[in-house]
């Protein structure tokens, strides 16, 4: 039996990203993967949204992906192309890049950190106790871990074995998708008819076409035949373009489901194992990668016992609402694709509204993940939002804020230490230095200068703070202002989770008490919310 601190089931994008995050933190992590290699049949997911590229930039690997893909400065939204060039981020574009390229690049990054991937082994079950989890594969392979994370997709064995309900809505519509060679050149582009939207796109190989067809009747079989694809083409285009030698065929529906809990004691879920929805908008892979970055540093601290087990409850609390909103938006997208005249009239109105500046900015920020705000209390508008990748001046010269996150560690950024800003701001900065002193082995301190306000997507310009505490996932956990710490406790907030009484309380909350490891772990389970209504 092999032994690791964390075992991840699934070497897809989410599993690879999580393994890299844990390895950065010095955790002994391994991946168990059913596939014999990293290659995928078909294009699958098609690219990276702005916030996901930022997340990769936070680890210093964003350019590896951008260099391989094609940049698109506009977001397609129900007939409207929404300009993204004015979004306040260095990566104000969508990168079209196939999942195959994304996975290979992530696998190379993980390989640089020596993470073992046990390939060709299909996990069939596990058993957890108070001390760890035993993982069993079909070929007799066994592993023991402190924690197990299921990144094994929509049919997750880990989720099913944990008994976590996958609540949601049954499908109402289906699409055929295929990649094949053609004999007669297809009619490239998008076509709309009484049954929905269809598309034929040229692939990297000049003699291959990617086919997406809205089906006339719901079919819930993921394994269509080439004859079904041919018949679908004839019904829409009057010809099948002589397609042959299919590289990949599949079918997807508008089924939407979400795990009611992302955690059961020592077992956690991420990516498609935790949430599925139709690929409209291309958000599934993206929110899976962001799940991994939210979970990785928290799980590392709990494994190392620098933070209590309860820190893992914040993973569900923060990421479950994000996926729930994506499911809601995707269901709305499907509804707007209905072919009846009333829906077409509605789409025209929605498209007109989406082109207006304020709605456009709202939609772009939501679809890209740049508007995410975790509930870390009230106060400064930066609190709970991602820190922008500003160019700042430091003692070591010009740097970007994301440079300080490359190692997967938090950072306290203190501004205005040597300029003529108001005296109160300098006092706040000084207090921050004093409070963080016992945590400097875990939280580096950087003094920097930045002139002007901070521009936030979906928010606008906000006053430059005196100091910010940035978590390893790039979200602001504390803000020091001229009038003192920004976060104010809500009346209903748990006194043990009071983020408003100063920097020390926040440091304990997110990075554990200083000077010692926490007491032996009391492994709990996050509260399971009620299931959403079913169709």
Residues 105 and 24 in one domain: yes
Residues 137 and 193 in one domain: no
CA 486/CA 428 separation, integer angstroms: 11
In a domain? residue 516: no
For residues 329 and 364, the answer to whether their CB atoms sit within 8 Å is no
- Cα within 13 Å of Cα(176), Cβ side: 27
pLDDT recorded at residue 515: 61
pLDDT digits (tens, 9 = 90+) for 90-124: 999 999 999 999 999 999 999 999 999 999 999 99
Residues 158 and 269 in one domain: yes
Residues 126 and 197 in one domain: no
Residues 312 and 444 in one domain: no
Q: Which of 223-232, 380-389, 438-447, 483-492 has the lowest mean pLDDT?
A: 483-492
Question: Which of 91, 88, 131, 115 lies closest to 33 in space, CA to CA?
Answer: 115
Token reading at 165: 């309900």
Question: If you average pLDDT over every residue of the chain, what do you get?
Answer: 89
pLDDT digits (tens, 9 = 90+) for 344-382: 999 999 999 999 999 999 999 999 999 999 999 888 999
The full 3-state SS of 33-76, as one line of letters, equals: ECCCCCCCCCCCCCEECHHHHHHHHHCCCHHHHHCCCEEECEEE
CATH classification at residue 405:
3.40.30.120
- Average the pLDDT over 515-526 and give the result: 54
pLDDT at 495 over 70: no
Residues 178 and 146 in one domain: no
In a domain? residue 420: yes
In a domain? residue 523: no
For residues 429 and 467, the answer to whether their CB atoms sit within 8 Å is yes
For residues 326 and 286, the answer to whether their CB atoms sit within 8 Å is no
pLDDT recorded at residue 234: 96
Backbone angles phi, psi at 326, to 5 degrees: -65, -40
Backbone angles phi, psi at 393, to 5 degrees: -100, 130
- Residue 305, judged by CB atoms within 10 A of its CB (0-12, 13-18, 19+), counts as middle
Reported confidence tier of residue 532, pLDDT bands at 50, 70, 90: very low
Of residues 146 and 340, more confidently modeled: 146
Token reading at 34: 């059913």
In a domain? residue 146: yes
In a domain? residue 62: no
Residues 205 and 298 in one domain: no
Residues 237 and 116 in one domain: no
Token reading at 194: 């009484």
Reported confidence tier of residue 193, pLDDT bands at 50, 70, 90: confident
Q: How many domains does the chain have?
A: 4
In a domain? residue 7: yes
CATH classification at residue 133:
3.50.50.60
In a domain? residue 212: yes
- Average the pLDDT over 516-533 and give the result: 48
pLDDT at 527 over 60: no
The partner residues of 469 in beta bridges, in order of sequence, read 412, 478
pLDDT recorded at residue 340: 87
User: Among 253, 281, 307, which residue terminates a domain?
Assistant: 253
Residues 470 and 484 in one domain: yes
pLDDT recorded at residue 376: 93
For residues 21 and 56, the answer to whether their CB atoms sit within 8 Å is no
pLDDT recorded at residue 448: 93
Expressed as residue numbers, the domain containing 465 is 391-511
Compute CA 66 distance to the chain's CA centroid, rounded to the nearest angstrom.
17
Reported confidence tier of residue 60, pLDDT bands at 50, 70, 90: very high
Residues 471 and 361 in one domain: no
pLDDT digits (tens, 9 = 90+) for 271-330: 999 999 998 878 999 999 999 999 999 999 999 999 999 999 999 999 999 999 999 999
pLDDT digits (tens, 9 = 90+) for 70-91: 999 999 999 899 999 999 999 9
For residues 341 and 24, the answer to whether their CB atoms sit within 8 Å is no
User: Among 253, 268, 284, which residue terminates a domain?
Assistant: 253
pLDDT at 423 over 80: no
Task: Give all strands (DSSP E) within 151-231, no chain letters.
Answer: 166-169, 174-181, 189-193, 196-202, 208-214
Of residues 299 and 206, more confidently modeled: 299
In a domain? residue 483: yes
Residues 71 and 208 in one domain: no
Q: Which of 126-130, 253-257, 344-348, 433-437 has the lowest mean pLDDT?
A: 433-437
Q: Which residue has tokens 């002193």?
A: 437
Of residues 425 and 22, more confidently modeled: 22
User: Among 217, 236, 253, which residue terminates a domain?
Assistant: 253
CA 229/CA 329 separation, integer angstroms: 28
Residues 9 and 112 in one domain: yes
For residues 409 and 444, the answer to whether their CB atoms sit within 8 Å is yes
């Amino acid at each position: 039996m092999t032994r690791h601190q964390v075992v991840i089931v699934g070497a897809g994008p989410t599993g690879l990203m999580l393994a890299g995050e844990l390895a950065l933190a010095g955790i002994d992590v391994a991946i168990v993967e059913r596939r014999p290699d990293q290659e995928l049949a078909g294009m699958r997911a098609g690219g990276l949204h702005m916030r996901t590229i930022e997340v990769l930039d936070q680890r210093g690997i964003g350019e590896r992906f951008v260099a391989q893909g094609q940049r698109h400065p506009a977001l397609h939204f129900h007939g409207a192309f929404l300009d993204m060039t004015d979004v306040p981020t260095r990566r104000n574009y969508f990168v079209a890049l196939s999942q195959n390229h994304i996975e290979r690049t992530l696998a190379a990054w993980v390989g640089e950190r020596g993470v073992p991937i046990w390939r060709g082994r299909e996990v069939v079950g596990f058993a957890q106790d108070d001390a760890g989890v035993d993982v069993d594969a079909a070929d007799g392979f066994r592993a023991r871990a402190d924690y197990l994370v299921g990144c094994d997709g929509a049919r997750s064995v880990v989720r099913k074995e944990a008994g976590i309900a996958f609540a949601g809505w049954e499908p109402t519509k289906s699409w055929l998708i295929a990649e094949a060679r053609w004999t007669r050149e297809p009619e490239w582009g998008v076509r709309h008819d009484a049954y929905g939207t269809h598309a034929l796109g040229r692939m990297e190989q000049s003699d291959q076409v990617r086919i997406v067809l809205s089906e006339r009747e719901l079919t819930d079989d993921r394994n269509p035949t080439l004859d079904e694809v041919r018949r679908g083409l004839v019904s829409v285009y009057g010809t099948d373009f002589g397609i042959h030698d299919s590289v990949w065929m599949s079918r997807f529906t508008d089924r939407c489901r979400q795990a009611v809990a992302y955690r059961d004691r020592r077992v956690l879920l991420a990516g498609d194992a935790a949430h599925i929805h139709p690929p409209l908008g291309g958000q599934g892979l993206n929110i899976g990668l962001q799940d991994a970055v939210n979970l990785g540093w928290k799980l590392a601290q709990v494994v190392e016992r620098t933070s209590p087990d309860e820190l893992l409850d914040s993973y569900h609390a923060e990421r479950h609402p994000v996926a729930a909103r994506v499911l809601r938006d995707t269901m709305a997208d499907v509804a707007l694709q209905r072919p009846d005249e009333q829906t077409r009239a509605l789409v025209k109105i929605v498209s007109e509204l989406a082109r207006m500046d304020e709605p456009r900015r709202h939609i772009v920020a939501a679809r890209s993940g740049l508007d995410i705000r975790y509930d870390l209390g009230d106060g400064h508008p930066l609190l709970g939002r991602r820190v922008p990748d500003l160019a700042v001046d430091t003692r070591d010269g010009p740097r970007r804020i994301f440079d300080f996150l490359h190692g997967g560690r938090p950072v306290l950024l203190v501004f205005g230490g040597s300029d003529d800003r108001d005296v109160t701001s300098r006092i706040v900065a000084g207090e921050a230095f004093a409070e963080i002193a016992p945590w400097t082995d875990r939280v580096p301190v950087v003094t920097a200068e930045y002139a002007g306000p901070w521009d936030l997507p979906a928010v606008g310009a906000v006053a430059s703070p005196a100091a910010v505490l940035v978590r390893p996932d790039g979200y602001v956990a504390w803000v020091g202002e001229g009038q003192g710490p920004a976060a104010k406790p809500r009346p209903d907030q748990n006194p043990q989770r009071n983020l408003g009484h100063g920097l020390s309380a926040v440091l304990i909350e997110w990075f554990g008490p200083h000077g010692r490891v926490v007491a032996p772990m009391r492994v709990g389970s996050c509260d399971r919310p009620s299931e959403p209504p079913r169709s």
